[in-house]
Structure 1
Amino acid sequence: MTFTWKTPPWQRHEDCTHMAVTLVHTGGGNIATSATSLRGHDPTEALADFLMGDPGGRAAASVPGLVAVVVRRGIDVMWMAQPPIQVSSSASGEWTLAVHGVDEADVTAFSPDQVQDLLTRLRTAYPSR
């Protein structure tokens, strides 16, 4: 895959424009969240910043209990502290997310497979990272 950016988001010196909330199933139906602010012009660039710019992002991509990484446009400290994301599991083990109080166009949820796929493509394109 060829990335369209001239400067990768993790190498930019600009203000953060997005937030990411990592959702991890910790067992017993419990979901742990972790939030961070990111740079990028769109959700995919913000996810790339998370995966390549933050060592914790790469680690989160390989966590066995990863449910999703939810990227939201804009920075809202209250949203980061207590993200209004409801997670439920179906009988078949599939996760369903509901995000409350924001415009759906401002939120993108990336599945574990999508996160891992992007990380693999980024490592191929930027092997020295």
Structure 2
Amino acid sequence: MTFTWKTPPWQRFEDCTHMAVTLTHVGGGEIALNSTSVRGDDATEALADLLMGPGGANGAAVMAPGLVAVVVRRGIDVMWMAQPPIQLTKNAAGEMEIGVADDDPDAVTAFSANDARDLLARLQVAYGTK
């Protein structure tokens, strides 16, 4: 796969443009949320920055077996990062469904664990591992 950017988001010297929230099973039915700011022109580039950037440890966060999803929101809002309005429910098949209460639903993109791992694999093929 080829990527359309000239410079990968994790190599750019620019301010962060998105927020990423990693949702992970921590045991006992509990889900931990970890918020961070990331760079990119869109949600996929922001996820790429999370995966390959300085804090991503070359995708270590998405390789964790407990990963549920990554939610990316355009813009930086400290209150949203501190308490993301994300709700998780299990559907009839036992899979987690993600709901996000946001004033601008078009600004939010949810990536499943498989989506994040697939993107990481494509990035590692195109750019190698650190």
Q: Structure 1-normalised TM-score? A: 0.94
1:128 shift after superposition:
4.7
- Per mean C-alpha deviation after superposition, the further-off stretch among 30-39 and 89-98 is 89-98
Query: What SS is found at the alignment partner of 1:5?
Result: coil
Which residue identity lines up with residue 117 of structure 1 in the other structure? Answer: D
- Alignment: residue pair count: 129
Task: Specify the alignment match of 1:112 in structure 2.
Answer: 113
Task: Specify the alignment match of 2:71 in structure 1.
Answer: 70
C-alpha distance in 2 between matches for 1:102 and 1:67: 23
C-alpha distance in 1 between matches for 2:88 and 2:126: 33
- Per mean C-alpha deviation after superposition, the further-off stretch among 2-11 and 119-128 is 119-128
C-alpha distance in 2 between matches for 1:28 and 1:128: 33
C-alpha distance in 2 between matches for 1:90 and 1:13: 41
Aligned residues: percent identity?
A: 65
Task: Specify the alignment match of 1:127 in structure 2.
Answer: 128
Task: Specify the alignment match of 1:41 in structure 2.
Answer: 41
C-alpha distance in 2 between matches for 1:88 and 1:57: 29
Task: Specify the alignment match of 2:7 in structure 1.
Answer: 7
- Per mean C-alpha deviation after superposition, the further-off stretch among 21-30 and 65-74 is 21-30
Unaligned runs of 5+ in 2: none
1:27 shift after superposition:
2.3
Which residue identity lines up with residue 98 of structure 2 in the other structure? Answer: L
Matches within 5 A, 1:17-32: 17-32=17-32
Query: What SS is found at the alignment partner of 1:122?
Result: helix
Task: Specify the alignment match of 2:96 in structure 1.
Answer: 95
Query: What SS is found at the alignment partner of 1:19?
Result: strand
Unaligned runs of 5+ in 1: none
Task: Specify the alignment match of 1:84 in structure 2.
Answer: 85
Query: What SS is found at the alignment partner of 1:109?
Result: strand
C-alpha distance in 1 between matches for 2:41 and 2:58: 18
- Per mean C-alpha deviation after superposition, the further-off stretch among 77-86 and 96-105 is 96-105
Query: What SS is found at the alignment partner of 1:49?
Result: helix
C-alpha distance in 2 between matches for 1:6 and 1:90: 40
1:63 shift after superposition:
1.2
C-alpha distance in 1 between matches for 2:129 and 2:60: 17
CA, structure 1 residues 56+76, in 2 after alignment: closer, same or farther (shift >3 Å)? Answer: farther
Q: Structure 2-normalised TM-score? A: 0.94
